[in-house]
Amino acid sequence: MPFDVFLAMGVFAFVMAFTPGPNNILLTASGVNFGFARTIPHVLGVEFGFLVLVLACGAGLGLVFAAFPTLQTAIKIAGAAYMLWLAWKVANAHYDGDGAQRRARPFSFLEAAAFQWVNPKAVLAAASSIAIYVRPSHAWLDFLVMLALFALATILSTAAWAGFGAALRGFLKDPARARIFNIVMALLLVASIVPMVWAS
């Protein structure tokens, strides 16, 4: 693989992984509300789910989306609706209006893995990366390199965002601060949906 292709692929993988999006916002909120250790299944679920999604796109899911654009639209709508529900859950995590503690829990491994299939950013990254960076003449080599780069970028970014949230726990012990943080995270989650849902 030419170095310029490898470099471009790596930059794409790390930019997509580290920039704010639904996964990173939810991981930060989970780190704040539940701590890093309890967020580990969420981190690993994102890693596993996203790599399975990339494998599926490499096996032809991207062609299915191209042949049936209504399917991609349906996934975007379902994903947006689900993320709006998640935003409401994040905004209300841990505290009722009167400040009483809620019985909340972080994402499980399977929930986080399944979420990748309705996360517009993940679907867009997986499908577009195959189309842009995998050369037909070297498909298997390019695909394996891309899978390795995505695996590395995803685990580093998910751990970093969860760790960032966990580092804020001390500052957010005050219920009023925690409430404001959760509302801001929920609003960011809603904002992250807009460009991906309306992207062509």
pLDDT of residue 100: 41
Of 71, 73, 80, nearest in space to 119 by CA:
80
pLDDT in tens, 8-22: 889 888 988 998 888
Of 161, 160, 166, nearest in space to 35 by CA:
166
pLDDT of residue 98: 41
Q: How many CB atoms lie within 10 A of CB 190?
A: 19
pLDDT averaged over every residue in the chain: 82
What distance in Å separates the CA atoms of residue 32 and residue 24, rounded to the nearest whole number?
A: 12
Q: What is the mean pLDDT of residues 189-199?
A: 67
pLDDT of residue 148: 94
Of 48, 114, 103, 104, nearest in space to 75 by CA:
114
Task: Grade residue 66 by pLDDT with cuts at 50, 70 and 90.
Answer: low
pTM for this model (two decimals): 0.79
Task: Grade residue 61 by pLDDT with cuts at 50, 70 and 90.
Answer: low
**Is the predicted pLDDT of residue 198 greater than 80, yes or no?**
no
pLDDT of residue 101: 44
pLDDT of residue 96: 39
List of residues 6+ apart from 161 with CB closer than 8 A: 23, 24, 27, 28, 31
Give the bridge partners for 101, in sequence order.
95
pLDDT in tens, 115-128: 998 887 888 888 88
- Dmax (CA) for the chain in angstroms is 62
Decide if 106 contacts 113 (C-beta within 8 A): no
pLDDT in tens, 143-169: 899 999 999 999 999 999 999 999 998
Q: Which amino acid is at 190?
A: V
Residue bearing the bigger pLDDT, 102 or 20: 20
Q: What are phi and psi of 82, to 5 degrees?
A: -65, -40
Q: What is the mean pLDDT of residues 50-71?
A: 77
User: Could you tell me how far CA 100 lies from the centroid of its own chain?
Assistant: 30
Q: Which amino acid is at 24?
A: N
